[in-house]
Chain A
Amino acid sequence: MRQPTRLRLPRAALAAPLLAAVLLAGCATRPPASDPDAVAEYRQNNDPAEPANRRLFAVHQAIDQYALRPVAVGYRAVVPQPVRTGVRNVLGNLRTPVILANDMLQGESRRAGDTLGRFVINSTLGVAGIFDVAESWFGVRGHAEDYGQTLARWGVGEGPFLFIPVIGPSNPRDLLGFGLGIVSDPLSWFGQGAVVDALVYGRAGVTVVDTRESLINTIDDVNRTSLDPYTTLRSAYRQRRAAEISNAGEIAPAAATSTGFGVGTGMDQQRR
């Protein structure tokens, strides 16, 4: 008999009403029309909920200082580099369904072919995705793609900037894409049970640790050299997303995720 499928609501959907309440509580005051430069900058920053976002950023910084960063530093110290690379390769390989779907939704048949070919080769010759032989033997490099980028290509605007603790810098479009990525992932279709739950949560946890580890130096630099780390992260996130959406220049590795700090996964180490 078939198991009844349980509706697996993404955590983001549950958090949404709570978030909305926080956002409504703190809105930035729009500068007066008599100061056109200030108005232009206000529009440029695209951050009407800035006071609320800054509060959430403070929450994130505390979580990061006491939990995320120490765990990432420990992971880097204990697990040797080749193993960490293997972990990142597996995570990237597991993202294939999302990447492939979005290559196709954007009409990028060549990139879709790359993604499919990489999946077949890395899942078999690469031993369940541990070794990226598609790149090292065949020279086919992985790339990231997600629903937020597809929505952007279809003309959906990013909406106001949002900062979500643990996830990081984002916006409604990328959060929607993040949710679509979870719902459309075949891993979330396999009914229920302790094993499936453990796999889903385990993968989410490893993704967070892997992402944070790959950004230790970058974020340390921001916290040390920026006079206002919040603004630096906001600006960097939006610029980086714009570059990703246009598929211009260097490409993010397949393990990079769809929003927040995840878009910077492997920036330091995985470039060629």
Chain B
Amino acid sequence: MHDLDRRALLGTALFLTTAGFIRPALAQADIGRAANFIQTTGQELVAAINDQTRDLPARRQRVAAVLRRAVEVERVGRFILGRWWNQASPQEQQEYLKLFEETLIRNLSARFGEYQGVRFSLGRTQQRTEDDVLVNTVIERPNTAPFSLDWRVADVGGQPKVVDVIAEGTSLRLTQRSEYSSVIQRNNGSVAALLTAMRGQIQQLAQREQAR
């Protein structure tokens, strides 16, 4: 065998071995970073929810502020509108993203806002998928048995961001994508109809918040 061939063979073997080692190591780093991010965000949320010095609207606002920072709202919104995104006019797209952010933040902060005395901890199973990391957490509330919540964390411009929440095997963004698409379809493909429905829903949510 020529020396050159041998060197190439060794080089390739070495490359394959290191590549084999490096990739899991990288994945491990990603998982660690995503888990840290969820840990920090979760602690901020819990602190905001359990802050006894503020009233409910103030707490809800703080929860909303944390969520706005942690969730990649635009990417989630576009994923959820799915195939209808390209059929919407630029104005409709802008309007949709605005309404979507408001719906999402209001819904989540209304729900989390009620979780008085909530505690949370990282669960056991953190895993890497093709694009993202799934971080498992356990949510505990007084008088309620704990339940598990998975956060899908993506890398957005070097920053970890939440792109989905999965409760009991049910993904929020998948469920909401079929919901929105169904509304559009049942209105003969009109994105404007969805926007009207979303506006109505935000009004209802606001009224409920007032009534509290």
Mark interface residues in A241-272 (1 if CB within 8 Å of B CB, else 0).
01110001110000000000000100111111
Name the interface residues of B164-187: CB closer than 8 Å to any CB of A.
168-171, 174-175, 178-183, 186
Contact with B along A45-62 (1 / 0, CB 8 A): 100000000000000000
For A239, give the chain B residue with the smallest CB separation: B170
User: Are A235 and B174 within 8 A (Cβ)?
Assistant: yes
Residue of B111, B168, B181 with most chain A CB atoms under a 10 A cut-off = B168
The reply to whether the CB of A34 lies closer than 8 angstroms to some CB of chain B is no
Q: How far is the CA of A93 from the CA of B81 in the complex (A)?
A: 44
The verdict on A184 contacting chain B, using a C-beta distance below 8 Å, is no
Q: Is A37 a contact partner of B83 (Cβ separation < 8 A)?
A: yes
Residue of A nearest to B175 (CB): A235
**Inter-chain contact A41/B169, CB cutoff 8 Å:** no
Closest beta carbon of chain B to A63's beta carbon, Å: 23
Contact B169 A239 (CB under 8 A): yes
Interface string of B136-179 (1 = CB under 8 A from A): 10000000111110100000000000000000111100110011
Asked if A227 meets B180 with Cβ closer than 8 Å, knowing A267-B147, A269-B144, A272-B146, the reply is yes
Contact A269 B169, beta carbon cutoff 8 Å: no
Q: Which residues of the other chain, A, contact B181 by a CB distance below 8 angstroms? A: 41
Contact of B144 among A45, A228, A248, A268 (CB under 8 A): A268
Instruction: State which of A221, A225, A231, A244 has its C-beta within 8 Å of the C-beta of B201.
Output: A225
How many residues of chain B have a CB within 8 Å of chain A? 29
Whole-angstrom distance between the Cβ of B6 and the nearest chain A Cβ: 47
Instruction: Tell me whether A227 and B170 are in contact (CB under 8 A).
Output: no
Chain B residues with CB below 8 A from A272, complex form: 145-146
B174 touches A270 (CB 8 A): no
**A76 contacts the other chain (CB 8 A):** no
Q: Is B89 an interface residue, CB under 8 A from the partner?
A: no
Contact present for A239 and B171 (CB under 8 Å): yes
A8 at the interface (CB under 8 A from B): no
Task: Please state if B147 and A271 are interface contacts (CB–CB under 8 Å).
Answer: yes
Instruction: Known A267-B168, A270-B145; judge A227-B83 contact (CB<8 A).
Output: no
With contact pairs A228-B179, A228-B183, A242-B169 given, residues A249 and B125 touching in the complex (Cβ less than 8 Å): yes
Q: Is the CB of B168 within 8 A of A243?
A: yes
Q: Within the complex, what minimum Cβ distance (angstroms) separates B104 from chain A?
A: 11
Across the two chains, which residue of chain A brings its CB closest to B198? A227
Minimum distance in angstroms from B120 CB to a CB of chain A: 13
- Determine if B174 and A268 form an interchain contact, defined as CB atoms under 8 angstroms apart: no
In contact, A231 and B179 (Cβ under 8 angstroms): yes
CA of A228 to CA of B184 in the docked complex: distance in angstroms?
A: 11
Q: Is A236 an interface position by the 8 A CB rule? A: yes
A203 CB–B CB distance under 8 Å: no
Q: Which of chain A's residues have a CB closer than 8 A to the CB of B111?
A: 221
A226 within 8 A of B: yes
Q: Is A248 a contact of B179 with CB atoms below 8 Å?
A: no
Verify B182–A228 contact, CB threshold 8 A. yes
Cβ of A234 under 8 Å from chain B: yes
A250, B168: Cβ atoms closer than 8 Å: yes
When distances are taken between beta carbons in the complex, the residues of chain B under 8 Å from A264 are 168
Cross-chain contact B182 with A236 (CB below 8 angstroms): no
- Residue A153 lies at the interface, judged by CB distance under 8 Å to chain B: no
Scan A159-183; emit 1 where CB is below 8 A from any B CB, else 0. 0000000000000000000000000
**Contact yes or no, B169 A249, CB < 8 A:** yes
Does residue A232 face the partner (Cβ distance < 8 Å to B)? yes
CA distance A41 to B181 in the complex (A): 9
A159 to B11, CA, bound (A): 52
Q: Can you pick out 5 interface pairs between chain A and chain B where the beta carbons lie within 8 Å of each other?
A: A41-B181, A228-B179, A228-B183, A268-B144, A268-B147
Q: Which 10 A-B pairs have the closest CB atoms?
A: A243-B169, A271-B147, A231-B182, A37-B83, A235-B178, A235-B175, A250-B148, A239-B170, A228-B182, A236-B170
